[in-house]
Amino acid sequence: MNPLRGIALKLCSVAVFMTMASLIKAASHAVPPGEAVFFRSAFAIPVILIWLIATRGLKSGLATRNPLGHFWRGLMGTVAMGFGFAGLGLLPLPEVTAIGYAAPLLTVVFAAMFLGENVRMFRIFTVAIGMAGVLIILSPRLTALSAGELGATEALGAIVVLVGAIFAALAQVFVRRLVAEEKVSAIVFYFSVNSALLSLISLPFGWTMPDPASAAMLIGAGLFGGLGQVLLTSSYRHADASVIAPFEYASMLLALGVGYVVFDEVPTRIVLGGAALVVFAGILIIWRERQLGLERDRQRRAMTPQG
C-alpha cells in the first residue's frame, strides 16, 4: 500500500474526468447526448485495452462469469451518462457537478432496498442532509418554470441531471454485485463496450455529422474518459477506498475554476451552499464507513486464535 500514490492517482483521475466533462459540454451544441455517449465510450476502449496489455492482464482481466450482470450495469450507466451529458448542455458545469453528488447518497438508499444492506440511523441522517443540499440547489431552477423559455430550459436541465444521478446510483448497485465475483478491469472494459453499443439505440433520434472541432473534442472526451477509468482503478490498488473516496469532491473546485475560466459561469450562493451540504454529507458517510471497517477489523483480530 502507498496511500500518497493512491491519492495522487485519484486526484489525477478527477482532473481527467473534469476535462472529459468540459469537452462534452463544449461539444454539446453539435451532437445529441446519445451520440456523445457513443464517442465517450467507444474511444475509451482502446485506452483500456492498452492498459490491460501493458499490465499483462488482458486475458484474465476480460474473463467474466456474469455477462448479464455487466449488461444491466451497462444499461444503467449508459442511461445515467446520457442524462448527465444532456444536463451539461443545459446547466453550468458547477451546478451539474453538485447535483451529480446525489448519486453516492442515493446509492446508500438503493443498496438498502435492493441488496438488503443494513442502513443505520447515522447514514439515514447524513443522506437526509445531502438530499436537503440537492433540493437547495434545485429550488431556484424549479421555481424558474414560470420565467419563460429560459426558466423552463434550466428547470429541465436540473431534472435531467437529477435523473442521471438516480441511474448512476442504480449502476453502482449493480457494480457492488459484480465486484463480488468479477475483476474491476472486466467491469470497466465491459461497461465501455456495452455503453458504446447501447448508445447506438439513439441513432434514429437525430445523430449528426460533427464539425472537425467538435469531433476532435468528442474523441478527446473518449480518450480522457478511458484514461480516467485507468487512473481511478489504479488508485484503489495503492490505498483503501475510505482514504481515496473523499478526494472525489475536489471535482467541485475544478468545476468552479473551469466553469468560470472556460464557460464564463459564476455559481450562485445557493448553489455553493447546497453543494457544501452535499459534500459534507458525503464525507460523513465515508468517515462512518471507515470507522465501521476499522471496528470489523478489530473484531476479526480479536476472534483470530493467537499462535
Q: CA quadruple 232, 238, 239, 240: dihedral positive or negative?
A: positive
Give the residue numbers spanning the domain of 39: 3-303
Distance CA 105, CA 58 (A): 34
Terminus-to-terminus CA distance in the chain, angstroms?
Answer: 26
**Long-range contacts (CB closer than 8 Å, 24 or more residues apart) made by 241-245:** 242/286, 242/287, 242/289, 242/290, 242/293, 243/3, 243/6, 243/7, 243/290, 244/6, 244/7, 244/10, 245/286
pLDDT of amino acid 299: 66
pLDDT at 205: 87
pLDDT at 297: 65
Instruction: Region of 57 please: left (phi>0), alpha (psi -120 to 50) or beta.
Output: alpha
Q: How many folded domains does the chain comprise? A: 1
Q: Tell me the C-alpha to C-alpha distance, in Å, between residue 98 and each of 61, 263, 279.
A: 33, 17, 8
What pTM was computed for the model?
0.89
How many residues are there in the chain?
Answer: 307
Q: CB neighbours (10 Å) of residue 283?
A: 16
Query: Which pLDDT score is estimated for 150?
Result: 57
Q: Which residues of the chain have pLDDT under 50?
A: none
pLDDT the model gives residue 84: 96
Is residue 32 within 8 Å of 208, Cβ to Cβ? yes
